[in-house]
């Protein structure tokens, strides 16, 4: 029986897509994972569905798995036939069957080093996967970025440099970037244990928002560009010069960001999800079901699919990336 309270108090902290792009996974503050069929959602949405039939779209989970009652699921990733789940002090791989479209048993667990100053295990806040070399990078609550080999399940590298917990990890072309509560963005070469550059948006007067603090909640990068935000204003940086080339008028705290179709997207403590061009002009404003956005899942192939989730039991889907056309429900109210 569904706990009616969960319909109103669920927060979706994390999302990821299966390797074949056919399924969406959402992790909640109650330790549950919801599985949706992207294939069915996009097929039904692309058909000649009348407004009266919109409630018949496959907008409920095809599976709900209770993973833990100890902590929220802050991070998810996917590699080959495994759904990867970040928990407190450990990362687990659950077997995935694309044929049946269901999560199976836990296949492996990677234990992270315990913080020396505390017996508590640190939470895995964010994971970024480099599928080309089977390496998973996990930004954690003990201020450390861990590099984990998915071939043997061992921590192969630790990146130390932040003085507070890590919110976000991004990577591109052998480079990594981490965003931290300490107010900095650190840039790393994945072959080196120490960072080679630091960006501190709060040090620039034009970006300062003292009422929101100095922390950095999100970072995304391409070969040439980096965007970041949190308490300070959302901003665009040129990676070679480390110059801030644009700042954006996103009105609240920032939690998610990324690049798509020559545009930059951003979400946070706001009921709208924005897309900007590189000059800072707004190109799209997408309404969201909750007051805050904490995660985004995006792909362009084989289905064009963007899902936006946060402080709501509902997930907003855009199949054309410019407006919301589907709302997914993690629970069905009794």
Does a structural domain hold residue 220? no
- What pLDDT, on the 0 to 100 scale, is given for residue 117? 66
Is 310 within 8 Å of 325 (Cβ atoms)? no
pLDDT tens, residue by residue, 187-208: 999 999 899 999 999 999 999 9
Does a structural domain hold residue 176? no
Number of domains the chain is built from: 1
* Average of per-residue pLDDT across 32-57: 71
Per-chain mean pLDDT for the chain = 92
Nearest by Cα to 313 from 21, 24, 34, 16: 34
* Average of per-residue pLDDT across 288-317: 97
- What pLDDT, on the 0 to 100 scale, is given for residue 4? 73
- What pLDDT, on the 0 to 100 scale, is given for residue 184? 98
- Helical (H) or strand (E) element with 286: strand 282-287
- What pLDDT, on the 0 to 100 scale, is given for residue 48? 47
pLDDT tens, residue by residue, 8-40: 899 999 999 999 999 999 999 999 999 999 999
pLDDT tens, residue by residue, 219-231: 999 999 999 999 9
* Average of per-residue pLDDT across 98-109: 93
End-to-end CA separation in angstroms for the chain: 9
Nearest by Cα to 88 from 116, 64, 112, 117: 112
Q: Is 129's pLDDT higher than 90?
A: yes
- What pLDDT, on the 0 to 100 scale, is given for residue 99? 87
CATH classification at residue 317: 2.40.128
Centre a 10 Å sphere on the Cβ of residue 197 and count the other Cβ atoms it contains: 13
- What pLDDT, on the 0 to 100 scale, is given for residue 119? 46
pLDDT tens, residue by residue, 271-289: 999 999 999 999 999 999 9
- What pLDDT, on the 0 to 100 scale, is given for residue 54? 44
Report the range of poorest mean pLDDT among 168-177, 210-219, 305-314, 324-333: 324-333
Does a structural domain hold residue 188? no
Alpha helices, DSSP H, located in the chain: 4-9, 38-46
Does a structural domain hold residue 320? yes
DSSP 3-state of 221: strand
- What pLDDT, on the 0 to 100 scale, is given for residue 189? 96
Does a structural domain hold residue 326? yes
Does a structural domain hold residue 28? yes
C-alpha–C-alpha distance, residues 256 and 265, integer Å: 8
- What pLDDT, on the 0 to 100 scale, is given for residue 334? 59
* Average of per-residue pLDDT across 133-143: 95
C-alpha–C-alpha distance, residues 201 and 194, integer Å: 20
* Average of per-residue pLDDT across 115-137: 84
Nearest by Cα to 31 from 64, 80, 78: 64
Q: Which class for 194: exposed (0-12), middle (13-18), buried (19 or more C-beta within 10 A)? A: exposed
**Structure-block tokens of residue 130:** 């480099």
Confidence of residue 332 (pLDDT cuts 50, 70, 90): confident
- What pLDDT, on the 0 to 100 scale, is given for residue 311? 98
C-alpha–C-alpha distance, residues 321 and 307, integer Å: 9
Nearest by Cα to 220 from 249, 259, 246, 190: 259
Does a structural domain hold residue 237? no
Segments forming the whole domain that contains residue 307: 1-111+297-333
Confidence of residue 6 (pLDDT cuts 50, 70, 90): confident
Is 88 within 8 Å of 78 (Cβ atoms)? no
Q: Which class for 256: exposed (0-12), middle (13-18), buried (19 or more C-beta within 10 A)? A: buried
Does a structural domain hold residue 26? yes
- What pLDDT, on the 0 to 100 scale, is given for residue 50? 46
Report the range of poorest mean pLDDT among 23-27, 96-100, 166-170: 96-100
**Structure-block tokens of residue 9:** 């108090």
DSSP 3-state of 73: coil
DSSP 3-state of 203: helix
């Amino acid at each position: 029986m569904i706990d009616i309270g969960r319909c109103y108090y669920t927060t979706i902290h994390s999302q990821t897509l299966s390797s074949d792009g056919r399924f969406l996974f959402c992790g909640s503050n109650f330790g549950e994972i919801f599985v949706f069929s992207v294939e069915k959602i996009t097929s039904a949405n692309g058909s000649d569905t009348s407004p009266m039939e919109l409630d018949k779209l496959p907008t409920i989970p095809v599976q709900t798995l209770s993973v833990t009652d100890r902590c929220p699921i802050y991070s998810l990733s996917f590699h080959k036939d495994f759904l990867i789940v970040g928990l407190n002090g450990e990362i687990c791989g659950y077997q995935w069957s694309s044929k049946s479209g269901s999560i199976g048993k836990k296949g492996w667990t990677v234990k992270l080093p315990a913080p020396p100053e505390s017996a508590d295990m640190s939470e895995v806040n964010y994971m970024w996967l480099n599928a080309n070399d089977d390496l998973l990078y996990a930004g954690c609550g003990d201020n450390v970025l861990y590099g984990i080999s998915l071939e043997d399940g061992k921590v192969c590298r630790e990146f130390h440099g932040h003085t507070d917990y890590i919110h976000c990890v991004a990577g591109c072309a052998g480079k990594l970037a981490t965003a931290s509560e300490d107010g900095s963005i650190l840039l790393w070469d994945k072959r080196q244990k120490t960072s080679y550059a630091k960006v501190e948006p709060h040090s620039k007067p034009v970006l300062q928002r003292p009422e929101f603090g100095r922390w950095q909640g999100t970072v995304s990068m391409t070969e040439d560009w980096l965007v970041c935000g949190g308490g300070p204003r959302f901003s665009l940086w040129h990676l070679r010069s480390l110059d801030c080339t644009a700042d954006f008028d996103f009105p609240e705290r920032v939690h998610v960001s990324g690049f798509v179709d020559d545009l930059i997207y951003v979400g946070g403590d706001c009921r709208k999800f924005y897309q900007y061009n590189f000059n800072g002009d707004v190109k799209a404003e997408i309404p969201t079901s909750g007051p805050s956005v904490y995660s985004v899942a995006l792909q362009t192939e084989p289905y064009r699919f963007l899902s936006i989730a946060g402080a709501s039991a509902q997930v907003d889907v855009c199949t054309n990336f410019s407006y919301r056309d589907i709302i997914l429900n993690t629970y069905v109210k009794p």
